[in-house]
Copies of this chain bind each other. A is one copy, B any other.
């Protein structure tokens, strides 16, 4: 035979079992998004290159997949590229359709994105993002809702998580009060290493990065932060009292914590919120809250993340639209569910029963039964030929079909089928009504 065909590096096929699990993930996330009144949109796989370029930094620009024009003159057809994330297309969507939208606009979007990253374990060139955002309000109730959504999604999955939260304004305040407003990134990178390299080395690194000794000294209470969120916040509030932006950040966090305390049951064993000053993702676009979610029982990076951005649509010429959003990483959630063995035992999309037959008359008999079962909403298959019984049973086995209804001459005569439970191996003759009862119980 010819060489087997392949697919491009970094892309994947998803077979039936993976799809059942992925659908479980997407359906769960989607149903929680809907519960909170978010509305779905979809945008095209291709965007104008002009919409994409310059939005993801120099490195990001290099990772964009470009589409060759085809059957068009270059002058007529602007260059196109595959979407790199769902955030920029969403910003483009909001600006383009702003007259049709009523704000605050609450949208969710679950679609694949493409990045020309070097393929490696756990990093793909095509992967799904599940984004949920509110734009057009700076109310912190939106932050609360996103926190609730995170909690509810992972509660449904049965994954214990810790939601880390920070605020860019607090980080800016810290850089300000230690007298190094331009060193915000250096400070957060150093703080981030505290656990790994210890306080002494962090201080050394800060000096190496060009912070003054005074600044490093002033930073010590931040590095020594501990206790509950409230305790940490009260230390920070004192430290930042001279910084307008810092104080604003503290107040925002206090409000969010207060709202969360009201709204979220104190089930701290499965869901924790943690003020985490080391959290510094997306500092070039987030302007307020920053979120990151980690599974408590699996060593894995962030499985959900996001934050508030005050000027998302500014890149497309519509300034002053504040928004906040988070993105669920389907691939990592898939891996966590697999590792913790948390998938439900039966997936709704599964076939519940296969009819296996000994001859053509039996096959036609089975088709009639199958029609009745399907009318009762039971996912039903009929093996399409009266093949060897071993082959038909093997088919049920490898497709994990839990029941086989065997039809031979005796069953036709007595208007029954022989129902075999594929797990226990037990079998018994049942009538049509008994079969329906068995399969819908």
A66 in the interface, Cβ–Cβ < 8 Å? yes
In the docked arrangement, what's the CA distance between A15 and B1, Å?
47
Within the complex, which residue of B97, B259, B398 is in contact with A364, where a contact is CB–CB below 8 Å? B259
User: How near does chain B come to A364, taking the closest CB pair, in angstroms?
Assistant: 6
Interface residues of A in 221-269 (CB under 8 A from B): 259, 262-263
Establish whether residues B41 and A19, one from each chain, have CB atoms under 8 Å apart when the complex forms: yes
Establish whether residues B46 and A8, one from each chain, have CB atoms under 8 Å apart when the complex forms: yes
- A37 / chain B contacts, CB cutoff of 8 Å: 351, 354, 379-381, 401
Known contacts A13-B96, A64-B70, A77-B9, A36 near B374 by CB under 8 Å: yes
A123 in the interface, Cβ–Cβ < 8 Å? no
A213 in the interface, Cβ–Cβ < 8 Å? no
- How many residues of chain A are within 8 Å of chain B by beta carbon? 104
A210 in the interface, Cβ–Cβ < 8 Å? no
- A284 / chain B contacts, CB cutoff of 8 Å: none
Establish whether residues B363 and A70, one from each chain, have CB atoms under 8 Å apart when the complex forms: no
Establish whether residues B19 and A40, one from each chain, have CB atoms under 8 Å apart when the complex forms: yes
User: How near does chain B come to A68, taking the closest CB pair, in angstroms?
Assistant: 4
Interface residues of A in 34-58 (CB under 8 A from B): 34-37, 39-48, 50-51
Establish whether residues B379 and A45, one from each chain, have CB atoms under 8 Å apart when the complex forms: no
Establish whether residues A47 and B8, one from each chain, have CB atoms under 8 Å apart when the complex forms: yes
In the docked arrangement, what's the CA distance between A22 and B7, Å?
29
Establish whether residues A70 and B62, one from each chain, have CB atoms under 8 Å apart when the complex forms: yes
Kindly supply a per-residue 1/0 record for chain A positions 66-87, scoring 1 wherever the CB is within 8 Å of any chain B CB and 0 otherwise: 1110111000011010100000
Interface 9-residue window, one of A136-144, A160-168, A297-305: A136-144
User: How near does chain B come to A226, taking the closest CB pair, in angstroms?
Assistant: 30
A118 in the interface, Cβ–Cβ < 8 Å? yes
User: How near does chain B come to A70, taking the closest CB pair, in angstroms?
Assistant: 4
A394 in the interface, Cβ–Cβ < 8 Å? yes
Known contacts A65-B67, A367-B262, A7 near B48 by CB under 8 Å: yes
Establish whether residues A71 and B116, one from each chain, have CB atoms under 8 Å apart when the complex forms: yes
In the docked arrangement, what's the CA distance between A316 and B1, Å?
9
Establish whether residues B51 and A384, one from each chain, have CB atoms under 8 Å apart when the complex forms: no
Establish whether residues B8 and A380, one from each chain, have CB atoms under 8 Å apart when the complex forms: no
Known contacts A13-B96, A96-B4, A379-B34, A349 near B317 by CB under 8 Å: no
User: How near does chain B come to A65, taking the closest CB pair, in angstroms?
Assistant: 5
Within the complex, which residue of B16, B44, B112, B259 is in contact with A7, where a contact is CB–CB below 8 Å? B44
User: How near does chain B come to A43, taking the closest CB pair, in angstroms?
Assistant: 5
Establish whether residues B16 and A107, one from each chain, have CB atoms under 8 Å apart when the complex forms: yes
User: How near does chain B come to A29, taking the closest CB pair, in angstroms?
Assistant: 13
Within the complex, which residue of B42, B104, B114 is in contact with A384, where a contact is CB–CB below 8 Å? B104
Closest to A385 in B: B139
- A16 / chain B contacts, CB cutoff of 8 Å: 39-41, 107
Closest to A318 in B: B1
Establish whether residues A5 and B78, one from each chain, have CB atoms under 8 Å apart when the complex forms: no
A346 in the interface, Cβ–Cβ < 8 Å? no
User: How near does chain B come to A378, taking the closest CB pair, in angstroms?
Assistant: 8
Closest to A363 in B: B141
- A274 / chain B contacts, CB cutoff of 8 Å: none
A202 in the interface, Cβ–Cβ < 8 Å? no
Known contacts A139-B384, A139-B385, A14 near B41 by CB under 8 Å: yes
Q: Which residues of A contact B (CB under 8 A)?
A: 1-9, 11-16, 19-20, 22-23, 34-37, 39-48, 50-51, 62-68, 70-72, 77-78, 80, 82, 92-93, 95-97, 100, 102, 104, 106-107, 112, 114, 116, 118, 125-126, 134, 137, 139, 141-142, 144-145, 148, 152, 259, 262-263, 316-318, 348-349, 351, 354, 363-364, 367-368, 371, 374, 377-385, 394-395, 398-399, 401
7 contacts between A and B (CB under 8 A): A2-B317, A13-B41, A14-B43, A39-B351, A63-B70, A63-B71, A259-B367
List 13 other contacts, CB 8 Å, given A7-B46, A9-B77, A34-B379. A5-B316, A13-B41, A13-B43, A13-B93, A16-B40, A34-B351, A39-B349, A39-B351, A40-B349, A46-B114, A66-B70, A71-B116, A104-B383
